[in-house]
Homo-oligomer: A and B are copies of this chain.
């Protein structure tokens, strides 16, 4: 696995990442790391490699778009001096276009999304050993659904930015595909966005695969 002794991984994102993490820093005793995929990533890594002393910090914030990430990038990413960084953002950038279509100032359209994400990755790249970009997702198997289609556009942007910047990529939407063949979305996420424990495990496994984790 890529993460070595005493290295620090910061995982930033929106409510899927946040999951009741501690403030101002999402780590430490009594569930400081939150209750979502970040906690599962940590639990799988620590139980497999207890000797490495790897440090994982959850910096997700519910409701955030990439615009919000940019505002808190200095304090919430750079000041923490991570060795590794993961970013999963974009769901709210898209969702607001569909659940409150008339409130346009709450939307982040593709151009701004791509530019901001690229800028953050390029700015941070020289300071870390590696960046993992996780696509946003929508737990809806119908690719013709309007919001799914839109989310796929944002996913494609993430892939493009990952390729251009030499970042690792986690295609979370693809990770949900096989599960959605057998399980209806409502079982995995009551609103097609916020995953159940099973859904978070899908995310954690997808992330761990990208960083070369071996279960055991």
Contacts and interface: CB of A to CB of B under 8 A. Distances in A.
Interface stretch (A108-116, A164-172, A177-185): A177-185
Interface in A133-148: 142, 144-147
Contact of A47 (B29, B146, B201): B201
Interface stretch (A37-45, A67-75, A121-129, A153-161): A37-45
A77 interface: no
A42 B198 contact: yes
A215 to B, nearest CB: 4
Interface residues of A, number: 53
Contacts of A27: 100, 102-103
Interface string A1-43: 0000010100000000000000000011111010100011011
Interface of A: 6, 8, 27-31, 33, 35, 39-40, 42-44, 46-47, 50-51, 53-55, 95, 98-103, 106, 142, 144-147, 178-179, 181-184, 186-187, 190-192, 196-198, 200-202, 205, 215
